[in-house]
A and B are shown apart, each in its own frame.
Chain A
Amino acid sequence: MRPRYWLLSTISIILIASAAIAGLNAAIDIYGLYRPTRGLCLGVYGDPRVAKYLLSMRHVPENFNAILTGASISANWDVKRIEKLRVYNGSITGGTIVEEKAVIDAALERPGISVAFLLVHPALTWSHEFRTVEMTPGLKRSALGSLSLWDAYKDMARIRLGLRPATFDCSGTETFLSMPSAMNINMRQMWNAPEFTVDPIALRAWRTLIAGLRRRRVQLIFIVPPTSESLLRTKGVPLQIFMERMRSAIGPSDLWIDFLRPEYKEYRESRNFSDGVHLFPASANRVVEQINAQVDQWIADGRLDLLEPRKLASIPVHAAAELEKRDLSDRK
């Protein structure tokens, strides 16, 4: 073969193969990025971080009006039990607030989400790392052909062929294949420390997230999850200090559901937890039902009107924008 033809052939094969791979994946479109997705049930396959982030770009705002952010603690909360809202469970196992913020920011790029449930827990603010991939809009390109997509296809094939059970439902709620019987190394480190470390960048991301949500007139519901009494006996005070610090972010129009309050003692009994922080499915259901009752009450009180745009809360628009800008420059 003459060198000129070799060069042309090689470049042509690269272009044709790349275009074919991208075209095929865009046609399959497991994340619903390139087609209307209203009414579709798109599962979470492969790396849940990548999947939930990409699903949030279009599928979540087209099919849900509320989103729950959190870590593994809330990943198995069956949010379909919240009856008056269509909630997507955006919780990510091992997730930080920085990752959760990325998911919410993606979901808010399109109209649709008007309520955000924010889990308040030290697990979300102890670090600001992206655990597997950096969740930026550029990740959308990975849906056209990437390793994570290949992992997702393999995962989907295994589930559809019945080789393993589906672990996520259409609302993003995870069914743990096995409940963690002991805390993982990170969680252990966090609970063994004398107080709960708050990463400054994670804290800023938390504040920026809240400011951004207010700016976009999204109603906020903060949830302090139950923790087993046995853990609270040694870490109750540091946890309260942490919660007070986080509570400073809430405004008068927000709902704060705190399962550390005395009246929720039954939710904190040790038998509800597999490892002190993760709830067994039945206990998680009871927690979500309690949240549902409070949301119902809230709606009955006229404090949540999904049809009317919310009033701007105490943080003015320019301040929220400034916070976001500072957060961006910090990350750079």
Chain B
Amino acid sequence: MLFHSFAYLIFLPIVAAIYAILRLKTPRPWSQAWLLAASLFFYTRAASANLPLLLASILFNWAVARRMMAQTDDGRRKLYLWAGLTVNIIVLFLFKYVNLFLETVAWLHGPRLSFPHLGFPLGVSFFSLTQIMYLVDAWPRAPSSPAARKIFRGLTEANSLFDHATFVAFFPYVVAGPLSRVRQVVPQLHEYTMKEPRQVMACRGLFLFSMGLAKKVVLGDSYATIADAGFLSVSSYSTVEAWIFCLAALLHLYFDFSGYSDMALGAAWMLGIDIPQNFNAPLQSRSISEFWQRWHISLSNFITEYLYTPLLRSMGRTTLAASAAATILAMGIAGLWHGPAWTFLAWGLSHGIALAGHQIFRQRKLHMPGWLGWILTFLFLTSTIPFLRASNLPDAVLMISRLIPGRDLLGHAALEGLLPFSPTVLLHPVGFGVVLAFFFRTSMRYATDLRPSLRTAFASASLVVYSLLFINSAPARQFVYFRF
């Protein structure tokens, strides 16, 4: 069940309405049980074959965390932590990278050797990271003083299996994030903690959801039409064509994933639960560091806290060189997290190098006008997107080489040949999307500023109805991040 399918558009309001009634009329476990049942139903509808893996992951990590927290001996506690982390990493590697390894072995051995393809369980990249975060949060001992406990970021006591299952399987983020921490979500299952009243949050959630839906199906899929055509078989594009295809790929990725994240956050708000924000107008960033504070924020936080910091600590003294090396290494790993391909590694490393360069730039207290920083960031993001989008490294390198002005600067033969089969109306939102991505506020800001009125009700409904026309036009495209 995709967020932008008719089935989900019926499923979500029913789940939210029944959940709201149960919260009001019944003891808490009933409403939480409804949420858990809805989440498992959602996951089963999306990938029924992978449900045992999700359930096993929940059960295993809950048991490990519980045993770990019960230990008085630090050594044994650490042993449980490493055992739990190792199993999660093995699961992640097994499904993400073993296929590549087996395919390589079979290719080296010859045509007679073949291995079964293990498949790629839906959401395994995300729920495995959630479990890793959970184990790491459960590891430090909670301080005894109440004041210290308040600011303590770890887990103060072991969760029940019921809480842990509801936390991990929560349908707004189980498949593609945002990566959420146990301390943020589980207390909200027990009591309503948001500042605004529940109904106000439901309104904001619906408004945010409608904006996310429109971002995904109206804008994201329109850019996908152009980007797909350009990256299907990279050939002798002119400079202008290469830039158009790369910009379309960047905007497709942005609108697709930020649209998905808005829908996830909107759905969670409709249920009265706050989860992390994932995007904050990243394409308006004036440096690569700022970009990574605004793009896929929950993953950036994970990289900083769970990869970069431990790597830096392991290097001993914190020097600029050590920091740069840790950044490049952490970003390389983050790149590989997207999938078992050299292109993803190259993408991660290129961003790591840029981030390290920016660290040096800041360290030397150099300054750059904001507009120049924005242009350089934009040029860098657009020129590295082929690593994420192209099907192999040679294609990515070829596309990047086409971005450099050459003999064929303004040719448009490829565009003419590739696009006539696209429905013209699909291309209309493209210009609007550029303005929206580069100059407008984030959808989150619009949602939090929402004033319930007939005008905003019409705006929200119009976005949904307009999106429905797009959804009804072609079979729904999967979200890009479902692949990672």
Measured CB to CB, the nearest residue on chain A to B466 is A17
Of A3, A9, A136, which one neighbours B199 at CB under 8 angstroms? Answer: A3
Q: Is the CB of A141 within 8 A of B472?
A: yes
Q: Is the CB of B203 within 8 A of A7?
A: yes
B13 contacts the other chain (Cβ, under 8 Å)?
Answer: yes
Q: Is the CB of B468 within 8 A of A11?
A: no
Q: Is the CB of A1 within 8 A of B452?
A: yes
Q: In whole angstroms, how far apart are the Cα atoms of A46 and B456 in the complex?
A: 34
Q: In whole angstroms, how far apart are the Cα atoms of A142 and B13 in the complex?
A: 23
Given A3-B202, A47-B423, A134-B475, 10 new contacts (CB under 8 A):
A3-B197, A3-B199, A7-B203, A9-B457, A13-B461, A14-B461, A21-B469, A136-B475, A148-B473, A185-B417
B 151-167 to A, binary, CB cutoff 8 A, 1 in contact else 0? 00000000000000000
Q: Is the CB of A133 within 8 A of B452?
A: no
Of A5, A18, A145, A147, which one neighbours B426 at CB under 8 angstroms? Answer: A147
Q: Is the CB of B199 within 8 A of A1?
A: no
- Shortest CB-to-CB span from A30 to chain B, Å, is 15
Chain B residues, CB < 8 A from A248:
none
Q: In whole angstroms, how far apart are the Cα atoms of A48 and B200 in the complex?
A: 47
We find that the number of chain B residues with CB closer than 8 angstroms to chain A is 32
Of B421, B453, B472, which one neighbours A6 at CB under 8 angstroms? Answer: B453
Q: In whole angstroms, how far apart are the Cα atoms of A17 and B457 in the complex?
A: 13
Chain A contact surface mostly: helix
- Shortest CB-to-CB span from A142 to chain B, Å, is 5
Within 8 A of A (CB), among B442-465: 452-454, 456-458, 460-462, 464-465
Q: In whole angstroms, how far apart are the Cα atoms of A146 and B6 in the complex?
A: 14
Q: Is the CB of B452 within 8 A of A151?
A: no
15 A-B residue pairs with Cβ-Cβ distance under 8 Å, sorted by A, are A1-B452, A1-B453, A3-B200, A3-B203, A3-B452, A6-B456, A10-B206, A17-B462, A17-B465, A21-B465, A132-B474, A145-B469, A146-B472, A148-B423, A151-B425
Q: A132 with B421: in contact, given A3-B197, A142-B472, A147-B426 (CB under 8 Å)?
A: yes
Chain B residues, CB < 8 A from A9:
454, 457, 461
Chain A residues, CB < 8 A from B424:
151
Q: In whole angstroms, how far apart are the Cα atoms of A18 and B10 in the complex?
A: 13
Q: Is the CB of B461 within 8 A of A17?
A: yes
Q: Is the CB of A10 within 8 A of B461?
A: yes
Q: In whole angstroms, how far apart are the Cα atoms of A280 and B297 in the complex?
A: 59
Q: In whole angstroms, how far apart are the Cα atoms of A17 and B464 in the complex?
A: 10
Of A10, A17, A21, A147, which one neighbours B423 at CB under 8 angstroms? Answer: A147
A 293-320 to B, binary, CB cutoff 8 A, 1 in contact else 0? 0000000000000000000000000000
Within 8 A of B (CB), among A1-30: 1-7, 9-11, 13-14, 17-18, 21
Q: Is the CB of A150 within 8 A of B469?
A: yes
B 136-157 to A, binary, CB cutoff 8 A, 1 in contact else 0? 0000000000000000000000
B470 contacts the other chain (Cβ, under 8 Å)?
Answer: yes
Q: Is the CB of B465 within 8 A of A18?
A: yes
Most A CB contacts (10 A, CB to CB) among B422, B458, B468 go to: B468
Q: In whole angstroms, how far apart are the Cα atoms of A11 and B425 in the complex?
A: 27
Chain A residues, CB < 8 A from B461:
9-11, 13-14, 17
Q: In whole angstroms, how far apart are the Cα atoms of A327 and B51 in the complex?
A: 28
Most B CB contacts (10 A, CB to CB) among A3, A6, A141 go to: A6
A178 contacts the other chain (Cβ, under 8 Å)?
Answer: no
Q: A94 with B421: in contact, given A10-B457, A13-B457, A138-B475 (CB under 8 Å)?
A: yes
Q: Is the CB of A134 within 8 A of B457?
A: no
Q: In whole angstroms, how far apart are the Cα atoms of A148 and B472 in the complex?
A: 9
Q: A7 with B472: in contact, given A13-B461, A14-B464 (CB under 8 Å)?
A: no
- Shortest CB-to-CB span from B452 to chain A, Å, is 4
A144 contacts the other chain (Cβ, under 8 Å)?
Answer: yes
- Shortest CB-to-CB span from B267 to chain A, Å, is 14
Q: In whole angstroms, how far apart are the Cα atoms of A38 and B422 in the complex?
A: 32
Q: Is the CB of A132 within 8 A of B422?
A: yes
Q: Is the CB of B417 within 8 A of A150?
A: no
- Shortest CB-to-CB span from B467 to chain A, Å, is 10
A131 contacts the other chain (Cβ, under 8 Å)?
Answer: yes
- Shortest CB-to-CB span from A31 to chain B, Å, is 14
Q: In whole angstroms, how far apart are the Cα atoms of A1 and B470 in the complex?
A: 30
Chain B residues, CB < 8 A from A181:
none
Q: In whole angstroms, how far apart are the Cα atoms of A160 and B426 in the complex?
A: 24
- Shortest CB-to-CB span from B194 to chain A, Å, is 13
Q: Is the CB of B199 within 8 A of A4?
A: yes
Q: Is the CB of A146 within 8 A of B469?
A: yes
- Shortest CB-to-CB span from B1 to chain A, Å, is 15
Measured CB to CB, the nearest residue on chain B to A46 is B423
Chain A residues, CB < 8 A from B458:
13
Most A CB contacts (10 A, CB to CB) among B13, B200, B474 go to: B474
Within 8 A of A (CB), among B319-351: none
A184 contacts the other chain (Cβ, under 8 Å)?
Answer: yes
- Shortest CB-to-CB span from A168 to chain B, Å, is 17
Q: In whole angstroms, how far apart are the Cα atoms of A6 and B197 in the complex?
A: 14
Chain B residues, CB < 8 A from A151:
423-425
Q: Is the CB of A6 within 8 A of B475?
A: no
Of A5, A138, A150, which one neighbours B425 at CB under 8 angstroms? Answer: A150
- Shortest CB-to-CB span from B266 to chain A, Å, is 12
Q: Is the CB of A133 within 8 A of B199?
A: no
Measured CB to CB, the nearest residue on chain B to A136 is B475
Within 8 A of A (CB), among B159-210: 197, 199-200, 202-203, 206
Q: In whole angstroms, how far apart are the Cα atoms of A17 and B466 in the complex?
A: 10
- Shortest CB-to-CB span from B13 to chain A, Å, is 7
Chain B residues, CB < 8 A from A142:
472-473
- Shortest CB-to-CB span from B8 to chain A, Å, is 14
- Shortest CB-to-CB span from B189 to chain A, Å, is 22
Chain A residues, CB < 8 A from B453:
1, 6
Chain A residues, CB < 8 A from B197:
3
Most B CB contacts (10 A, CB to CB) among A13, A94, A144, A147 go to: A147
- Shortest CB-to-CB span from B417 to chain A, Å, is 5
Closest CB pairs A-B (n = 7): A6-B452, A13-B461, A3-B199, A147-B473, A146-B473, A9-B457, A146-B472
Q: Is the CB of B421 within 8 A of A144?
A: no
- Shortest CB-to-CB span from A14 to chain B, Å, is 5
